[in-house]
Amino acid sequence: MPAKPSRYCPKCKTVHDKECPKSNWKNRKNNGSYGQGRGGRPWRRKRKAVMERDLYLCQMCRSNNVLTSVDLHGPNAGICDHRIPKCEGGTDDDSNLQTLCKKCSEIKTLQESQRGRGG
């Protein structure tokens, strides 16, 4: 079997047969943030639980007596929205989360951004 080809390392500007000895990507300690945030498994579980609680219906449409169903994934995927945005002191608590359709999410985001700019 042929040997692994040498690779140029932009960090130390040399060629190595193996990993760069100055590289520390394997040595980085997990600071407890892996899998956290809106892309991690805990967020995906919370998002699913909120959508199940809301019966996969857009809560903003529902407040206007319109039933708009959303999906967990795909082209009709719903948004797990913060009622009070995190930048305004909201939390990831279930009571501060709601299911929205894409249209309502865009409207709410536009209103929040205008409010943030003083418009």
CA–CA dist 33, 83 (Å, integer): 24
User: Model confidence over 19-42: pLDDT tens digits?
Assistant: 777 765 554 545 555 555 567 889
- For the chain, what is the mean pLDDT? 84
More confident residue, 26 or 105: 105
User: Model confidence over 68-82: pLDDT tens digits?
Assistant: 999 999 999 999 999
pLDDT at position 10, please?
73
pLDDT at position 50, please?
97
Integer CA distances (angstroms), 105 to 23, 42, 64, 79, in order: 42, 22, 15, 7
More confident residue, 11 or 77: 77
The dihedrals phi and psi of 23, each to the nearest 5 degrees, come to -70, 135
Q: Where are the domains of the chain?
A: 55-116
Half-sphere exposure of 22 (CA within 13 A, CB side): 8
